[in-house]
Amino acid sequence: MKKHDRIAAVTLIVLALAAAYYAYAELKLGTLRVPDSGLLPFLASLVIVASSAVWLWSLRGPDPEPRPFWAKGAWIKPLLAVTFLILYASTLELLGYLPSTFIFLGLWQFLVERVHWRRAILVTVLGTAGMYLLFVQLLGVYVPESIFGF
């Protein structure tokens, strides 16, 4: 874990230094009498740099418990979930709420949770219908319509 923590700490230091430079050069710090837009982000960036440096310092020395960042294959489900969610957001206005929700739930049940196909179909159909009835019909929430008009 230490290796990944070190990578994360260094990444944060680099990003925070970039943010501090942006706040200093672009937003400007102003004076004590009239502070400008960059002052708070600049100070917050410095806190991130300092905290990340302390974190990095605490990670020195060999790792007593070297273990992988993800247990075997544990990254697959979160990655698939994020991918399907991006796909869902991309198709929401294109296909409409009902079809895109149906596809998203189906993908989640079949590929993320990998439940039995009968259960997957049941959850997908009932889940889509339930969400549509609750939010659109009952609560009157505006959602993008499909080409079929619902």
Partner 1 sequence: MEIFQGLIDGFGIALGANNLLFAFLGALLGTAIGVLPGLGPAGTISLLLPVVYQMGSSTTTVIFLAGIYYGSMYGGSTTSILLNLPGEAASVITTLDGYQMAQKGRAGAALSIAAIGSFIAGTIGVIGLTFIAPPLAEFALSFGPPEYFSLTLVGLVLAVFLSGSSVSKGLLTLALGMILASVGLDPITGKLRFTFASVGLQSGFDFTTLAMGIFGLGEIFYNLEQSDVMGTVTTKIGRLFPTASEWVQSRWAILRGSIMGFVVGILPGGGGVLGSLASYAVEQKLSKHPEEFGKGAIAGVAGPESANNAASTASFIPLLTLGIPSNSSIAMIFAALLIQGVTPGPFLIVEHPEVFWGVTASMYIGNVMLLILNLPLVGLWVQLLKVPFNILGPVVVLLTVIGVYSTSNDVFQVFVLIFFGVVGYFMRKFRFEPGPLPMAFVLAPMIENSVRQSLLMSRGSLGIFVERPISAVLLGVFAIMVISQLVKALRSRKRSAAI
CB of 62 to partner 1, least distance (A): 15
Binding residue for partner 1, selected from 27, 29, 103, 121, defined by CB under 8 A: 27
Confirm if 66 and 1 have CB atoms less than 8 A apart.
yes
For partner 1, the binding residues in 81-110 under the rule CB under 8 A are 81-82, 85-86, 88-89, 92-93, 97, 101, 104-105, 108-109
Indicate whether 11 belongs to the interface with partner 1 (CB under 8 A).
Answer: no
Q: How far is CA 67 from the centre of its chain?
A: 24
How many residues contact partner 1, by CB under 8 A? 61
Closer to partner 1 by CB, 73 or 149: give it. Answer: 73
**Cβ closer to partner 1: 72 or 147?**
72
In three-state form (DSSP H/G/I as H, E/B as E, the rest C), the secondary structure along 48-114 is: HHHHHHHHHHHCCCCCCCCCCCCCCCCCHHHHHHHHHHHHHHHHHHHHCHHHHHHHHHHHHHHHHHC
- Which C-beta is closer to partner 1: that of 111 or that of 149? 111
No. of H helices and E strands in the chain?
5, 0
Q: Which is nearer to partner 1, 14 or 47 (CB)?
A: 47
